[in-house]
């Protein structure tokens, strides 16, 4: 749930007046996007999303994010397209915050994930990876492997409050990840937060990807690992191999994985699990118990981590690397 900045109507009208998008009809804060204030802005010409960037986004990263969305939209990817003011500038200021207007995307994010969603996601993610390759910008992953141990140490003394033995488990897992983290997989722009609420669908087709504010330069296969965690487990904690198979198989129809990427999937999935486990753990320990914010359970990601640590190899995700599309590599 976002922190909302209240935008006075006269400020809004003046701001929108710098664009060539018509006059304001309505503007409502929307309950999506945790990091920023998002508004559904209606003008007499159409619908837009107005975003005010709040404290948790580093302003120096904004040109990278805005530029990325512009680049991807130009390449034909369905994502929010920044709208420039009459002076050609998209990243502006409103209420003492960086602000931008982007295009409105049709579709709903799926509350119940089906196998068909995972299939479509695989293609859309591969398409994003292909189209990102020609983007000139780059940004290190500030929540990548180097960030995990400091994030853990910060709360290590309290970690066992959440579950006895959790601190030891995480320490061993970090040791393992640091020793075995891959070094030379294909790199490019990844979304890095491709959870269901960031993927819009119309029927079974992806109608848009949103919220690029964790996007960064990292192993492309790491994005897949994030999605294996975010899309392929059922509510009871069980891994749905059909969903994983469809996600991977469809991804490879657009961008085939190398043998090294395929082999690395389990370790990347363990890394992705610890990344979300650690940030959730931090939020869990630092959010008041009675707060009206729904805290996400860090232990959900401990269970996912243990699953990936228990499997023999990437075949457990429902695909052999000699599957048709991968054979070309």
- Site of interaction with a copy of itself (CB under 8 A): 1-2, 4, 6-10, 12, 24-32, 40, 42, 47, 104-108, 110-112, 200-201, 287-293
**Closest separation between CB of residue 36 and a copy of itself, Å?**
12
Torsion of CA 46, 1, 270, 68, to 10 degrees: 30
CB 148, CB 173: distance < 8 Å: no
Long-range contacts of 293-298 (CB under 8 A, 24+ apart): 293/1, 298/162
Of 32 and 61, which has the nearer Cβ to a copy of itself?
32
Of 36 and 217, which has the nearer Cβ to a copy of itself?
36
Backbone angles phi, psi at 233, to 5 degrees: -105, 145
**Closest separation between CB of residue 6 and a copy of itself, Å?**
5
Backbone angles phi, psi at 24, to 5 degrees: -65, 130
**Closest separation between CB of residue 105 and a copy of itself, Å?**
8
CB 232, CB 240: distance < 8 Å: yes
Of 153 and 204, which has the nearer Cβ to a copy of itself?
204
What angle in degrees, to the nearest 10, is found between the helix axes of 115-132 and 62-74? 100
Torsion of CA 110, 215, 31, 155, to 10 degrees: 100
**Closest separation between CB of residue 256 and a copy of itself, Å?**
31
**Closest separation between CB of residue 58 and a copy of itself, Å?**
22
Of 10 and 87, which has the nearer Cβ to a copy of itself?
10
Taking alpha carbons only, the member of 266, 267, 239, 273 closest to residue 170 is 273
Of 29 and 137, which has the nearer Cβ to a copy of itself?
29
**Closest separation between CB of residue 203 and a copy of itself, Å?**
9
Taking alpha carbons only, the member of 212, 319, 301, 217 closest to residue 263 is 319
Of 95 and 260, which has the nearer Cβ to a copy of itself?
95
């Amino acid at each position: 749930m976002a922190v909302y900045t209240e935008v006075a109507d006269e400020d809004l009208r003046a701001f929108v007046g710098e664009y060539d998008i018509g006059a304001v009809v309505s503007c409502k804060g929307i309950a999506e996007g945790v990091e920023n204030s998002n508004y559904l802005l209606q003008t007499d010409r159409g619908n837009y999303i107005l975003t005010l960037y709040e404290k948790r986004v580093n302003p120096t990263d904004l040109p990278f994010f805005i530029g990325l969305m512009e680049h991807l939209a130009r390449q034909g990817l369905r994502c929010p397209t920044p709208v420039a003011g009459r002076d050609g500038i998209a990243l502006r200021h409103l209420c003492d915050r960086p602000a931008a207007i982007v295009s409105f995307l049709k579709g709903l994010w799926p509350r119940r994930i089906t196998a068909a969603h995972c299939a479509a996601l695989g293609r859309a993610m591969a398409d994003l990876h292909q189209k990102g390759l020609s983007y000139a910008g780059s940004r290190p992953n500030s929540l990548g492997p180097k960030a995990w141990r400091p994030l853990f140490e910060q709360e290590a003394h309290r970690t066992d409050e959440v579950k006895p033995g959790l601190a030891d488990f995480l320490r061993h897992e970090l040791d393992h990840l640091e020793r075995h983290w891959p070094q030379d997989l294909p790199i490019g722009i990844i979304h890095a937060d491709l959870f269901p609420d960031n993927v819009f669908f119309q029927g079974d087709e992806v109608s848009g990807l949103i919220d690029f504010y964790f996007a960064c330069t990292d192993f492309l296969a790491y994005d897949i690992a994030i999605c294996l965690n975010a899309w392929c487990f059922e509510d009871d904690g069980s891994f749905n191999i059909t969903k994983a198979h469809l996600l991977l198989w469809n991804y490879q129809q657009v961008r085939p994985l190398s043998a090294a990427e395929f082999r690395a999937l389990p370790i990347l999935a363990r890394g992705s699990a610890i990344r979300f486990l650690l940030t959730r753990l931090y939020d869990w320990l630092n959010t008041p118990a009675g707060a009206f914010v729904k805290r996400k359970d860090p232990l959900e990601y401990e269970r996912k981590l243990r699953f990936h640590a228990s499997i023999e190899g990437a075949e457990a995700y429902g695909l052999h690397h000699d599957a048709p599309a991968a054979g070309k590599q």
